[in-house]
Amino acid sequence: MNQVVVVGAGLAGVRTVEALRGRGFTGRITLIGQERHPPYDRPPLSKAVLAGDADTSFVETDLEAMEVDFWPGVSAKSLRAGVVETTEGEVAYDGLVIATGSEPIRLPGDGPQHVLRTLDDAHELRATLVPGARIVIIGAGWIGAEVATAARRAGCAVTVIESAPTPLATAVGTEIGARTIPWYDGIDLRLGTMVDSVDEGGVRLVGGEFIEAHVVVTGIGVRPAVGWLADADIDLHNGVVTDEHLRASLPNTVAVGDCAAWWSRRWGTRLRVEHWDTALNAPEVAAATLLGEDAVYDPVPYFWSEQFGHMVQYAGHHPAGDRLIYRGEPEGKWSAVWLTADDTLAAVLAVDRPRDLVQGRRIIGAGHRLDAERLVDPQVVLRDC
Ligand code: FAD
């Protein structure tokens, strides 16, 4: 292999470049990135950057020292075996890394709507968060909650509209989501409410009501950014389909990060995880696979969110769980654990209880069973349950 092309210069893309060089690959590497910026981390965008505590979140890396041919501001348009066609012409490869991440879903309507995916999005949105501004946020998922946190802190009049009966319902279910409703104190939280369109000056709800807004932010989820692969001879289904080695169906091709739907041996299902830890750690496996080594990606998925003064952390795969058990009261620091039918820990969600997260993640990784009776006592540490 002499010429690797990495499409997508986000965290997964740049970490794969580093992993290739770290494993001794000396051939040519071309890194193609649609954005004009060097690679950066996205989690700070909805936290420190939106709050005005930071302006950038660039990844510490040295593309020049790694002799990477970096093409910022260039998009891949299509793919045929051995050639990527870009907005700046064709580039040939004998090894391909697909790391194009995901892109926000927008709502219908002619009115202006912000999304929060890029550094530029964050700067544009930050400029609008001024005292008294009427902000309507559509979606009470992870991004919606974090934007609402920043907007409330900035002194805006905040409305959050969510079609589900609770926040975070799609991510972790309505039972957990209900515990977060009190966090929206001072926010006009409209649950079970559908938006019809984003119009000039506000948002039209299904049923006709119009909610006025200076700023509308749509945070209703993302989809894998694989449109450029539509005509390629590669399996796509909710992203780029890969095996447990992150190998895609096209020869000499791996996919990594938000855009990859990989086979998980641990959970016996296909996973596509839109979180930072995957973009950070899967690249080692992707690089190893591309170089012909035998490596498997089978993590206990992990993510965190900082919202309304709370640190929310999650590890595991709760659809594998059967029973939900709470540790601690909703007003304080608490966690929730999902057990399978045979009392194996499937997932843990910790609110301001980082120790439960760390121990839970290890227990899930080891496949240990827990004693449900002991679990309900938040004083008993998880590893002793
Ligand atoms: P991306 O970061 O999306 O990078 C992909 C890159 O590919 C992009 O720069 C894109 O422009 C480029 N690209 C796309 N298509 C093309 C093309 N055709 N040609 C060339 N380039 C292309 N996760 C957590 O675990 N915790 C958090 O608190 C958290 N907070 C977040 C806050 C925000 C605001 C956002 C947006 C995400 C957050 N995440 C969080 C998720 C995490 O940031 C992502 O999972 C991670 O960025 C995925 O990395 P990636 O490299 O796979 O994709």
| Annotation: CATH topology of 106-218 | FAD/NAD(P)-binding domain (3.50.50)
For residues 201 and 213, is the Cβ–Cβ distance under 8 A?
yes
How far apart CA 382 and CA 174 sit, in angstroms, is: 24
Same fold, 106-218 and 309-384: no
Q: Angle, nearest 10°, between helix axes 276-290 and 11-22?
A: 40
**What are the CA-CA distances from residue 66 to residues 18, 40, 56, 292 (Å)?**
8, 17, 22, 21
H helical segments located in the chain: 11-22, 48-51, 119-128, 142-153, 169-172, 174-179, 276-290, 354-366, 372-375
Ligand 1 surroundings by CB, under 6 angstroms: 7-13, 32-35, 42-43, 45-46, 75-76, 99-102, 116-117, 143, 225, 228, 257-258, 274-277, 279, 303-305
If you take atom 30 of ligand 1, which residue's CA is the nearest one?
Answer: 43
If you take atom 14 of ligand 1, which residue's CA is the nearest one?
Answer: 100
- Report the separation in Å between the CA atom of 256 and the middle of ligand 1, taken as the mean of its atom positions: 11
- Report the separation in Å between the CA atom of 101 and the middle of ligand 1, taken as the mean of its atom positions: 5
The predicted pLDDT at position 321 comes to: 82
Sorted by where each begins, the domain ranges of the chain are 3-103+222-290, 106-218, 309-384
Phi, psi of 327 (to 5 degrees): -125, 110
CA atoms within 13 A on the CB side of 100: 22
User: Ligand 1, closest atom to CA 260?
Assistant: 52
How far apart CA 363 and CA 242 sit, in angstroms, is: 27
- Report the separation in Å between the CA atom of 184 and the middle of ligand 1, taken as the mean of its atom positions: 27
**What are the CA-CA distances from residue 349 to residues 30, 172, 222, 357 (Å)?**
39, 9, 22, 7
In CATH, what is the architecture of 309-384?
2-Layer Sandwich (3.30)
- Report the separation in Å between the CA atom of 42 and the middle of ligand 1, taken as the mean of its atom positions: 6
For residues 337 and 315, is the Cβ–Cβ distance under 8 A?
no
SS3 260: strand
How far apart CA 216 and CA 214 sit, in angstroms, is: 7
**Residues in the chain, overall count:** 385
- Report the separation in Å between the CA atom of 130 and the middle of ligand 1, taken as the mean of its atom positions: 27
Quote ipTM for the complex.
0.99
User: 8, 37, 81, 74: which is closest to 252 by C-alpha?
Assistant: 81
The predicted pLDDT at position 23 comes to: 97
Q: What is the pLDDT along the chain (385 residues), one digit of tens a residue?
A: 999 999 999 999 999 999 999 999 999 999 999 999 999 999 999 999 999 999 999 999 999 999 999 999 999 999 998 999 999 999 999 999 999 999 999 999 999 999 999 999 999 999 999 999 999 999 999 999 999 999 999 999 999 999 999 999 999 999 999 999 999 999 999 999 999 999 999 999 999 999 999 999 999 999 999 999 999 999 999 999 999 999 999 999 999 999 999 999 999 999 999 999 999 999 999 999 999 999 999 999 999 999 999 999 999 999 878 899 999 989 999 999 999 999 999 999 999 999 999 999 999 999 999 988 888 888 888 888 8
- Output the CA torsion 121→122→124→125 (10° steps): 110
Q: Which two tokens stand for residue 250?
A: 């096209």
Question: Which helix (DSSP H) or strand (DSSP E) does residue 186 occupy?
Answer: none
The one-letter code for the residue type at 190 is R
Which residue among 47, 236, 258 is best mutated to probe the pocket of ligand 1, counting the most ligand atoms within 8 A of its Cβ? 258
Q: Rg of the chain's alpha carbons, rounded to an integer?
A: 22
User: 304, 296, 293, 300: which is closest to 320 by C-alpha?
Assistant: 300
Just give the CATH number of 3-103+222-290. 3.50.50.60
The predicted pLDDT at position 312 comes to: 98
Q: Which two tokens stand for residue 298?
A: 């089978």
The predicted pLDDT at position 294 comes to: 96
If you take atom 29 of ligand 1, which residue's CA is the nearest one?
Answer: 43
String of DSSP letters for 76-94 = EEEEETTEEEETTEEEE-S
For residues 180 and 166, is the Cβ–Cβ distance under 8 A?
yes
The predicted pLDDT at position 381 comes to: 87
- Report the separation in Å between the CA atom of 274 and the middle of ligand 1, taken as the mean of its atom positions: 8
The predicted pLDDT at position 380 comes to: 86
